[in-house]
Structure 1
């Protein structure tokens, strides 16, 4: 997936979003999404790279548990045939839940 395709998919999730972070003081009220590409895995042989899998993390932030918003994000990922791993954490300093979707695209 290209950055443009990921951006279009993020728009379908119907939440404010940004790449990596929002500018200081511009973070919207929850729920909101962040996405980033923290790395890349490559398949290679004989000193040639045959394919590259970009890591993609989508972070959903909510101020209370929101299964409806999670389901909307997950439905969009399924529609795009994206396999993901999901984890959840409470960020005490921000008083927000973070649901992390990790995948390769």
Structure 2
């Protein structure tokens, strides 16, 4: 799966999606929650014969909600399971933004 494929799959959830952040202007403000951002975190390539043998890219998918929304989280998790993308999950309350942030860490292998 490529990063472009990941973007399309996240869009299929029916929420606004952006790489890293939404550009907010007076004419085009950032969307209200729930929304998703995603970004590359780091690579963890498989090395063999003194070269990068297999690309392994680690991404963070971040779900933002105004209140705790287990059904929305489940929707994201079911999509990741459908795509056979194992994930780990971390949750935080962002007091300054008054938003819940759910971070899913995934790996794209060979993309």
TM-score tier (shorter): over 0.9
Q: C-alpha displacement at 1:97, in angstroms?
A: 0.3
State the distance in 2 between where 1:40 and 1:13 align: 26
Q: C-alpha displacement at 1:52, in angstroms?
A: 1.2
CA-atom RMSD in angstroms:
1.0
- The residue number in structure 2 matching 1:6 is 6
- The residue number in structure 2 matching 1:18 is 18
Structure 1: runs of 5+ lacking an equivalent: none
Count residues with an aligned counterpart. 105
Q: Which 4+ runs in 1 deviate beyond 2 A?
A: none
Question: Structure 2 matches for 1:18-97, cutoff 5 A?
Answer: 18-25=18-25, 26-97=29-100
Q: Return the TM-score normalized by structure 2.
A: 0.90
Which is bigger in relative contact order (C-alpha 8 A, separation at least 6)? 2
State the distance in 2 between where 1:13 and 1:39 align: 25
